[in-house]
Structure 1
Amino acid sequence: MSSISFGNSNSHEISLDVPHITPIKRWHIAFAVIYSSRAFLSLHKESKLVHKRCEIFPDNEFSTVDKTSLALLLKEKNPDQLRAFGGIHGIASALETDAKLGIHGDCEDIARRNEAFGSNTYAKHPAKSFLHFIWEAFKDLTIVILLGCAALSLAFGIKENGPKEGWYDGGSILFAVFLVIAVSSLSNYRQSRQFDKLSKVSNDVEVEVVRTGRRQRISIFEIVVGDVVCLKIGDQVPADGLFLDGHSLQVDESSMTGESDHVEISSRQNPFLFAGTKVVDGYAKMLVTSVGMSTTWGLMTHQISLDSSEQTPLQARLNKLTSSIGKVGLAVAFLVLLVLLVRYFTGNTKDRNGNKAFNAKKTESDDIMNSVVGIVAAAVTIVVVAIPEGLPLAVTLTLAYSMKRMMADKAMARKLSACETMGSATTICTDKTGTLTLNQMKVTEFWIGQESIQKEAYISLLDSCVVDLLREGVALNTTGSVYRPNPVSKFEFSGSPTEKAILSWAVDELNADVEELTRSCSIQHVETFNSEKKRSGVLARREVDSTTHVHWKGAAEMVLEMCSSYYDASGLTKDLNDKEKEKFERIIEGMAASSLRCIALAHKKVEVEEEKENNGEKESKRITEEKLTLLGLLGLKDPCRPEVRRAVEDCRHAGVNVKMITGDNVFTAKAIATECGILKPGQAMSSEAVIEGSEFRNYTAKERMEKVDKICVMARSSPFDKLLMVQCLRQKGHVVAVTGDGTNDAPALKEADIGLSMGIQGTEVAKESSDIVILDDNFASVATVLRWGRGVYNNIQKFIQFQQTVNVAALFINFVAAISSGEVPLTAVQLLWVNLIMDTLGALALATEQPTEELMENPPVGRSEPLITNIMWRNLFAQATYQIAVLLSIQFEGKSMFGVNEKVKNTLVFNVFVLCQIFNEFNARSLEKKNVFKGIERNKLFLGIVGVTIVFQVVMVEFLKRFASTERLSLGQWGLCVGIAAFSWPIGWVVKFIPVPQKPILSFLG
C-alpha cells in the first residue's frame, strides 16, 4: 500500500492510500488531488461540494463524477456547473485524463471505464421477430379472403362428407396458404436480419484519439469516457464531450436542435460538444464525458421509432405494374365468377355423375352454398395468381443478395434504392484525389526562388534562416501530427495525405523537430483550410524573442497572389513584380503538367498586434494576407491507381460518361485525366472538354445546358460548381452518380441520383449524404457497383418476364375454360402451388444470378426506359401462347387424344403447366442471349431450386392426390409431360431471332 500526501501552509494535508499503482496513475491522482485542493480553497462556501471532491478515487474508482452528472452537465450547457466541477481540466483530472497525452488505454483501464460509464453503443429497438412478418403476411386482403373461403369449405365439406373426407378441399387451401405465408415471411425475416447487419457495419466508423501521447485510429464503438478525440472538418462528433483545445471550431447542431446556424465552440463561452453533430470548420481536441446511451443523442434516439415506409424508385414503378396487372386480373376473375354463377343457376353445370348441379326443385340450400363457395374460391384464387405480389419479394431478395456480394467487392449500399438506381446511371462525376489516384502523397520537387533544389542538397544549399522558416511554417501550420514512440523507432505521421507528405518531408529532409518547434511558439490565431480559400494560415509568437510571425500554406497560385517578395536559396529577399510572377506561374504550370500538386509556403514577420476586449473575450485581428514573402514551392506526387484506366474504359464501353471534377489547377487535372483515360488524345487542348469552375459558373443557363455534355474535366471547381454540374446533367435527363469524400461534396452527393462516398478518406458528413460507400476509395469499385446495379435491374426484369408468362397463361386458360365448359381446369390448391413456384422459388432462383460482362455492353437504361421492354413482351407472349395452345388442347381433347379419364386429364393439364414454368425458368435467365445455359454451373442455388421444385411437383402428383386433386401418372405420361414442357427451350431460342420495334408497346403496364 502506497501513501501520497499533499499540502501547504494554507490547507490541511490530504493523504491518499493507493494500492500498488503505476507511476503514470500516481501522477494522475496527484494532479487530481492538487486540483481538488484548489477547488477547496476557491469554493469554501460550497462545503458539500468540497467534501465530495476531497473524497477522490478511493479504491481506484471514479467517485467524484458519474455518468449521470456528466450527462446532465452537457445537456444543460451550464458554465456555472462546469466551474463547480473544477472546469474542463478539473473533469479531465477526475477522469484520469491528461489533456495532451490522453488516457493510458490499456485493457484494464478500458474495462474499468466501460464498467463505470458504459460503452459507446446505442440500444436498438427490438428486431422484428419472425411472428411479426407472419402477421404482416396475414394482413394481405387476398389471403384473408382465401382463408374465409377455406373456412366455409371446411364447414360445408365436413357437414356433407363427414370429418374423415370433408376437410380435404378446405384443408388443402389452408395448407397451401400457410405454405406461401411461411416461405415469404421467412424470406422477409432473413432480409431484415441482413439489413440490420449491414447497418451495423455502416455505423462502425473510425475516429482518431490520443492515448499515451500517440494518435491512433479506433472504432467509434471503442471510445470510452476520458478519451481525447481529434476532430477536423467533416467529422461527426462521436460522443458528448468538452472542448480541450483547437482553433476556429464550428459545429452543425441541426441534427440536435433543428437550427441551421453553425455554433462556435470555444473553451471560454461554449465548450460543449454533442454526439451526432458535425464539424463544419476548424479543428479541435475533445474530452469525452458521455458515451452511448448516456449522451444526449442516445437519450433522443431511444425515443425515436426507426420504422420507415419509404419506397425505392423501382418499387414505386413495380407498384404501378402490380396495380395495372391486378386490375386486369380482377376483371378476369369477376368475369369467371359471373360466368360460373350464371351457368350454375341456369343448369348448365354438371356434377360428378353427369347430372345438373343445380335443380331449383331438388337442390338443397347447403349444396347450393357449397357450390357457390367453390365458385367464389376459384375466382379469388385467380386473383391471387394474377396479382404479382411476389414482385416486392423479388426486389428484396435481389437487393439483399446484391448488397451482400457488393460488400465483398468493396462497396456498401447504405440505401436499398442505390443498387437499383446505379443500373440506370448514364454519367459518373468523380473527384480525383484518392479515387482516381492512390492518395499517397509524396514531395518529389522543391523550388526556392526560381531554382529547383535536389533532395540531397536541401541543407547544404539553403540559407539556415530560410530552413528555419520552412521548418517553423510546416510544424505550426498543420492539422497533422508526428509521433515517435522511442528514439530508435521510426516517425509516425497522422493527418490528411497532403499534411503527412509535407510533415514527412520536413522531418526527413530538413531535420525538423516538430514537437520542439510547437513548444517554442504559442499559436495566437488560426485560419483553417477549406475548399473555398484553398489555403490555411497561422499567427504564432516565438517564446524566445517574443516576435510574431504569419505562416501561410496552400494552393500555389492562391498563395502566390498574396506575395510581394520571395526568398532565394541564399536567403536574400527579392521583389516579386509581374514579370517575376509570370516566371513562377510557368514553374507552377510545369509542375502541374507533370501531375504534381503544387503547394506554396509563405511567411511574414508582423508587429505585435494589439488585442481588444470584446465582452470580456480576447479576439485577435484577422491574419494578414498581404505582402507576404514566398518561402518555396513543393511538388507533391499522387500517382494514379493502376486499375483506374481499365475501369474508365469499362464505363465508357457501357455507355456511361465519366467526368472528373477537381479543385486542382487545369494542368494537373489534364495530366491526371489523360493518364486515367478520361481525356482522349487531343481532347486536352479542347476548350469544351476542359474548363475551370469559374468559367462554367459564369455561363448563362442556356450555355451551361448546351455545353455540359461535352465537358470531361472541370478544374479549380468549388462545391457550388460541382453541384451546378450535377443539376444541369439531371435537367438534361441524365441519371447521375457522384463520388466525393469531403464535407464540401455533401450537397452534390445529396443532389445526385446516386451518391458514392469514400470509406477511408471520406468524412462522416460525406458518408451520411451518400447512398453507397466505396470501402477502398477506388474508382474501379465504382465500375463494379455499376455492374452490380445493372445486374439488379436485369434480375428483376427476368423475374417479371417469368412471372407474367405464368399470369397470362393461367388467366387465359381459366377464363376460356370457365366460359366454354363451366369449370376451371386448375383448382385453387394447384394455382396456389403455381403461385408459390412463381413468386417465392422463382424470385429466389432468378434474383441470385450474378451480373455478366454482357450487361456492360448494353447502353444505360436511363429514366425513360419502361420496366417491361419490347424484348420482354416478345419472349413473354411467345411462351404464353405456346402454353395456352398446349393446355387448352389437353383440356378439351385430352381424354380422346391420350385415352385417359377426366381426373388423369386434369392432372396432365396441371403437370404440363408446372413443368412448362420450370423449363421457362431457364429461358428467363437471359432476355436477349440465345444461350441460356451459359454460366449455369456457377449458380448452384438456381440449380438447387429447380431440383427442389421438381421433387415437390412429383410429390404433389404422386403422393398428395387428395390434397392436390391429382391422379398418379405412368412413366409414359410423365415422359409426355416433360417432352411437351421441354419444347419451351427451342421456342425460346427461335423467338430471339425476331426483331422488335424500338417504340415501347403496352407502356401502361410498366
Structure 2
Amino acid sequence: MPELIELPPSPASAARVVGLTEAEARARLQQYGPNAVEPMVPDSWWQVLLRQFRSLIVLVLGGAAGFSFAFQDHAEGLAILAVIALNAGIGFWLEWNAQASMTALRRLGLTTARVLRDGRVCAVPTHHVTIGDVLLVEAGEVVAADAALFEAQQLQVNESALTGESMPAGKVVDPAMGDGCELKFPDKATDSTSQLFKGTAVVNGTGRAYVTGVGSGTQLGEITQLVQHAARSATPLEAKLDRLARQLVYITVALAAGYVAIGLMKGQPVFGLLKIAIVLAVAAIPEGMSIVATLALAYGMMRLARHNVLVKRLAAVETLGGTDVIFTDKTGTLTQNQMAVQTVWLPEGQLRFPLAEEAGQPAALRGEAYQLLLRVAVLCNNATYTPATADAALGDPLEVALLALAHGGPFDVPGAQAHLRLAEQPFNSDTRLMATLHRQPDGRPWVAVKGAAESVLQHCAGQQLAAGAQPIGPAERAEWLGRANALAETGLRVLALAYRELPDEHQPDWADELTWLGLVAFLDPPRSEVVPALEACQRAGIRVLMVTGDHPATALTVAHQVHLAKDSDTTVVTGDELESLLTHPNGEGRRRLWQARVFARVSPAQKLDLISLYQDKGHVVAMTGDGVNDAPALKKADIGVAMGRRGTQVASEAAALVLRDDSFASIVVAVEQGRIIFTNIRRFVLYLVSCNLSEILVVTVAGLLGHGAGLLPLQILFLNLLTDVFPALALGVGKGSPRVMQHPPQDPQGPIMRPGDWRLAIAYAALMTVALLTADYLARNQLGLAPAAANAVLFFGLSAAQLVHVFNMAGGHTPLWHNDVLRNGYVWLALALCSGLIVLAYVQPLLHRLLGLQKLTPVALLLIAGPAVVTLVFGQLLGRLMASKRPAAKARPFS
C-alpha cells in the first residue's frame, strides 16, 4: 500500500482538491493500464540465440567445418558444427541470465510520484499513476505523466529531452480550468505552456496538475515507440574484447596462410597442410571471451546492488576501477543528514537545544522574536511533518527540523499554517535564499524568508531588529556574520531568518527590505564509516575533494572531523576565489588550487569548471550530487553518483550510479568493486590468450617438426569449450584481492592487454609449449608410442596444463597457498566440472571415438602430469620474475 501523509489545504487555490479515491485509482489503472512507456522489449530467446552465430569466430569455425566436409571428413565436420551449437548454447544461457539480471536491476531503480488520493499526499510508484490523478511536482522531480496545470508557483520545466530546447520552459495555469474556486479538469491541456510532459525535469517552482495521459499515451511514449528497435550498441569493453579476438584471428589466419605457403613450396600434400591450417584457426579462437566479460560485468552490478549501489549503465562499471578523483558533497554524504536544531541566536541572546534548565530561557521562548522566528520556520517551508508520524516526514531535512522545532515549543502551528500562501521564490544557488508571500487571517500580507546569513543580511539593510534595538548597519552585519562563522566553525549548518509586513500584496519587490530575526544552527554529525573509507581512498591513490555550497567554516570543520583535511590544513577555496583562480591563475594561486581539499560556496557552474580542470589533466572523476542543479555536473563527470534517499529524480536520471544509502562509504565500495571487476576481466583475458597461444605454438611447432598438427581440430575445440568458458567465468566473478585498494588505479581507457600482459601471456604460452613438446618427444622417441597414443598424451597433457594454469592468474605478488584465486570457490567448481568432462571424454565410447583418443598406460599418465607440474611451478616463478621487472603503477600527478 502507498504511504499516506496528511496534506494541508492548497495555499494557492480556494478550491478543495481531494484527488481520486483508492478505489477509483485501482479501477482506472485497470482501465488505462500502467503508466509505463512501453519499455525496450527485451530480446526474445530466438534473437539472443541468433546473436551467438553472428561473429567472426563462428565464421571461421564454419569455414573449418566446410573444409572438413569438402575433404569427406564428415564426422569431424559434424563435430565442429556440434561444438558451434554447444558454444552457442552456453553463450545463450549466459546472456539470457545476464539479461534477466539487468531486468532485476532496473526494478530496483523504480521511482515514485506524489499524487493526491482521498485528499492526502500519497507517494506511489510512478507506474501506478493514472488518468485523473492530481500530480504534485516541485524542483528536482521528473514529471511522472502528461498533465494539465491548475496551480503553478514560478514553475519552470526542462523539456530538452522532448524539444531539444536547452532553456527551461515557464509554465502557467491552464485558463480552461476555471478561476480557482471551481476547477474544471479537461481531457487535455489547451496550450503547451500549461501542460506537463512525462519524463521532463522540473528545475524551479512547484505546481499541481491533472493527469491527462499515461504510459504509451504520453508524448514521451509516442516518441519512444519510434525508437523501440534501435540497434544495440556495444559497451567500450565489448568493443575492446571484440578487437582483441579479431587481432588473434587475423594473426592466426596470416600464420596459417604462411604455413600453407611454406608447405606448398616444400612439396607437402595440400590436404595435410589445410588440416593444420584448420587446427591453427580453431586454436586461435577465444570462443567465450565476450560472453564471459558481459556476465562478469552483470554479476558485478548485482554485487554492487547488494552494497546499496545501483548501477544504471553497464559501461560505468568499466570506468569505476579507474577513478582517481572523487568530488563529494558534505551534507548526507559525509554527514548523517539527520538535522536537529542545536542553537537559535536571537537579538536577545542564544537558545541552546535541547533546552537546559537555565534562567530566562522559558521567557525567551514566549518572546516576540522567537515567536516570529517560528512563524517564518513554518511558513517558509515546503516539508510535511506531524509529531505523531515524524518518521514519515517528507521534504528537506533542514525544513523538517524547523517544523519539529515549531511543534516542540509553545507555538500555534495550525494558526501559522492558516496563513494563505500567495507566492514563492524558491531557493536557488544564485540568491541563496527562499521567500514566501502570505495573506494573514486578517487580510494583511506577510513575507517569510530564510537562507544563507550573508544573503539574508543583504536584504535587511536599514531595518530594525525584531527586538527593537538598533538598525542593521555595517557593524551589525559584520557582528551577525561573525556569529554565523562562529557557529559554522563548530560544524553546524546555519540559516538566517527574516520577515516583512507589506502594505500591499501586489508590491513588486516583496522579498526585500526585511526585518532581521536571527540565526538557527543545525547539528549534522559525521557518518562513522566515513573516516575508514577516506583512509582507504588515500591508500588507493584517490584524491577526495569536498565541494559544497555550505559555509566555508562548516565545510572545513567537517573536513577535519572526518580526516579529509589535516588539522593544520586551513585552506578553503570559495566560489568567489575559484572564479579568479581559474581565469587568472598565477604560481601561488595554481598551487593553492591544486592543494585545496575543500571548496565551499561553490555554484553548479563552478562544479563543471572543477571537473574540467581535473579531466583535462587526464584524471577520471567521480562526482556526487543530489539537486537539479547538479545534473549537468553529474553528466559531465566520468562517473556521476546520485543520492538515492535525499536526491532529486533529475539527479538520479543524470547519474550513472545511484547510492541507495547516500553514504560516501558506498562510493568507496563501488570503486573497489569496479577495480575488482576490471582486474578479473584482465585476469581471465590473460588466461584465455595464454592458453590459446600455447595451442597455436604447439600446433605450429609440431607441424614444423613433421608430426602433423599434433592435435586434432575436435580436440582443440573440446579444450576451448572447457577452458574458454568455465575457468574463465570463475576468474571473472571472483571476489578479488584485499590488496586491490592498495595501489593507484589503472587507466580505464587503456587496452585490455597491456604490453606487460602480452609479454607475460607469450612467456606462459612458451612455457606450456616447451613442457608439452618435451612430453611429446619422450612419448614418441623414448617410449616409442604410436602417433595416436602420443596424440593422446599431448591432448591430456595440454588439458591438465591449462587447468592448473588458472592458479598462475593470482599474480606475482601473492603466495600460491594464500590468494584470491585459491579462495575462489567457483574456480574449484570449474576445475571439478572440466576434469569430469575430460574423464567422460576418455571413458565414454562415442566421445572417445570422436576425439580420436587412445588408451593410456601408467607411463603415459606420468608424461601427462609432467607439463601440469612444470606449468604450475615454473609458471609461479615466471609470474614473480615478470612482476618484479614490471614498473610499479604510478598515480597520475595532481598539478
User: If the length of structure 1 is used for normalisation, what is the TM-score?
Assistant: 0.80
Q: Of residues 528, 534, 546 in structure 1, which corresponds to 2:432? A: 534
Which residue matches 1:174? 81
CA contact (8 A) 1:424 1:863 kept: yes
Which residue matches 2:20? 103
| CA–CA separation in structure 2 for the residues paired with 1:172 and 1:701 | 71
| CA–CA separation in structure 1 for the residues paired with 2:829 and 2:851 | 24
Alignment-mate amino acid for residue 444 of structure 1: Q
| CA–CA separation in structure 1 for the residues paired with 2:426 and 2:317 | 37
Which residue matches 1:717? 602
More moved, 844-853 vs 819-828: 819-828
| CA–CA separation in structure 1 for the residues paired with 2:96 and 2:445 | 66
Which residue matches 1:517? 416
CA contact (8 A) 1:593 1:667 kept: yes
CA contact (8 A) 2:279 2:709 kept: no
C-alpha distance after superposition, 1:827-857 (max 9, x if no partner):
1111112222332223311111113221011
Which residue matches 1:338? 261
CA contact (8 A) 1:236 1:764 kept: yes
Alignment-mate amino acid for residue 603 of structure 1: Y
Which residue matches 2:885? 996
Which residue matches 1:282? 205
Q: Of residues 383, 395, 405 in structure 2, which corresponds to 1:505? A: 405
Alignment of 1:39-188 (within 5 A): 100-105=17-22, 108-151=23-66, 153-154=68-69, 156-157=71-72, 167-188=74-95
C-alpha distance after superposition, 1:360-418 (max 9, x if no partner):
xxxxxxxxxxx64x643542442343244533223202101101111101111111111
CA contact (8 A) 2:768 2:867 kept: no
| CA–CA separation in structure 1 for the residues paired with 2:391 and 2:111 | 25
C-alpha distance after superposition, 1:99-153 (max 9, x if no partner):
5443332xx4432221233222233343212322232222223423433442453
Q: Of residues 320, 337, 352 in structure 2, which corresponds to 1:422? A: 320
Alignment-mate amino acid for residue 123 of structure 1: E
Alignment-mate amino acid for residue 449 of structure 2: W
Which residue matches 2:380? 477
Deviation at 1:981, TM superposition (A): 0.6
| CA–CA separation in structure 1 for the residues paired with 2:488 and 2:83 | 70
CA contact (8 A) 1:756 1:773 kept: yes
Alignment-mate amino acid for residue 906 of structure 1: N
Which residue matches 2:625? 740
2:168 aligned with 1:272, yes or no? no
CA contact (8 A) 2:541 2:743 kept: yes
CA contact (8 A) 2:533 2:665 kept: yes
| CA–CA separation in structure 1 for the residues paired with 2:784 and 2:170 | 90
Deviation at 1:887, TM superposition (A): 2.1
2:769 aligned with 1:884, yes or no? yes
Number of positions where the alignment pairs a residue of Structure 1 with one of Structure 2: 849
C-alpha distance after superposition, 1:582-619 (max 9, x if no partner):
22111101110111111011112222155xxxxxxxxx
Deviation at 1:463, TM superposition (A): 5.9
C-alpha distance after superposition, 1:254-296 (max 9, x if no partner):
2222222322222145431111111011012233233223322
Alignment-mate amino acid for residue 885 of structure 1: V
Change (3 A) 1:567 1:439: farther
Q: Of residues 293, 304, 307 in structure 1, which corresponds to 2:216? A: 293
Which residue matches 2:461? 564
2:100 aligned with 1:193, yes or no? yes
| CA–CA separation in structure 2 for the residues paired with 1:167 and 1:744 | 67
Which residue matches 1:677? 563
| CA–CA separation in structure 2 for the residues paired with 1:291 and 1:279 | 18
| CA–CA separation in structure 1 for the residues paired with 2:822 and 2:122 | 47
Change (3 A) 1:220 1:975: farther
Q: Secondary structure at the match of 1:564?
A: coil
2:339 aligned with 1:441, yes or no? yes
Q: Of residues 792, 805, 819 in structure 1, which corresponds to 2:690? A: 805
Deviation at 1:635, TM superposition (A): 0.3
| CA–CA separation in structure 1 for the residues paired with 2:56 and 2:390 | 70
Larger radius of gyration: 1
CA contact (8 A) 1:235 1:279 kept: yes
Which residue matches 1:217? 123
Identity percentage of aligned residues: 29
Which residue matches 2:676? 791
2:854 aligned with 1:967, yes or no? yes
Which residue matches 2:576? 694
CA contact (8 A) 1:133 1:189 kept: yes
CA contact (8 A) 1:168 1:962 kept: no
2:452 aligned with 1:555, yes or no? yes
Alignment-mate amino acid for residue 976 of structure 1: L
| CA–CA separation in structure 1 for the residues paired with 2:400 and 2:212 | 30
Which residue matches 2:472? 576
Change (3 A) 1:997 1:179: same
Deviation at 1:716, TM superposition (A): 0.6
Alignment-mate amino acid for residue 939 of structure 1: N
| CA–CA separation in structure 1 for the residues paired with 2:481 and 2:275 | 84
CA contact (8 A) 1:99 1:244 kept: no
Q: Of residues 502, 514, 517 in structure 2, which corresponds to 1:606? A: 502
Change (3 A) 1:966 1:266: same
CA contact (8 A) 1:448 1:568 kept: no
Which residue matches 1:862? 747
Change (3 A) 1:599 1:142: closer
CA contact (8 A) 1:661 1:717 kept: yes
Which residue matches 1:665? 551
Q: Secondary structure at the match of 1:245?
A: strand
| CA–CA separation in structure 2 for the residues paired with 1:228 and 1:839 | 56
Deviation at 1:551, TM superposition (A): 1.8
Change (3 A) 1:253 1:821: same
Which residue matches 1:493? 393
Change (3 A) 1:875 1:858: same
Deviation at 1:652, TM superposition (A): 0.9
Alignment of 1:374-413 (within 5 A): 375-376=273-274, 378-388=276-286, 390-413=288-311
| CA–CA separation in structure 1 for the residues paired with 2:547 and 2:390 | 37
CA contact (8 A) 1:719 1:745 kept: yes
Q: Secondary structure at the match of 1:237?
A: coil
CA contact (8 A) 2:421 2:436 kept: yes
More moved, 717-726 vs 859-868: 859-868
Change (3 A) 1:877 1:800: same
**TM-align CA RMSD:** 2.7
User: If the length of structure 2 is used for normalisation, what is the TM-score?
Assistant: 0.89
2:864 aligned with 1:977, yes or no? yes
Alignment-mate amino acid for residue 104 of structure 1: T
Q: Secondary structure at the match of 1:538?
A: strand
Q: Of residues 249, 267, 270 in structure 2, which corresponds to 1:326? A: 249
CA contact (8 A) 2:807 2:821 kept: no
Alignment-mate amino acid for residue 265 of structure 1: K
Which residue matches 2:180? none
Alignment-mate amino acid for residue 573 of structure 2: I
Which residue matches 2:714? 829
Which residue matches 1:623? 510
Alignment of 1:761-772 (within 5 A): 761-772=646-657
| CA–CA separation in structure 1 for the residues paired with 2:229 and 2:463 | 59
Change (3 A) 1:188 1:177: same
Alignment-mate amino acid for residue 918 of structure 1: L
Unpaired stretches in structure 1, ≥5 consecutive residues: 1-87, 93-97, 158-165, 350-370, 611-619, 1001-1006
Which residue matches 1:45? none
Change (3 A) 1:325 1:510: farther
| CA–CA separation in structure 2 for the residues paired with 1:541 and 1:498 | 24
CA contact (8 A) 1:879 1:987 kept: no
| CA–CA separation in structure 2 for the residues paired with 1:103 and 1:551 | 33
Q: Secondary structure at the match of 2:461?
A: strand
Deviation at 1:879, TM superposition (A): 2.4
CA contact (8 A) 1:251 1:280 kept: yes
| CA–CA separation in structure 2 for the residues paired with 1:130 and 1:341 | 46
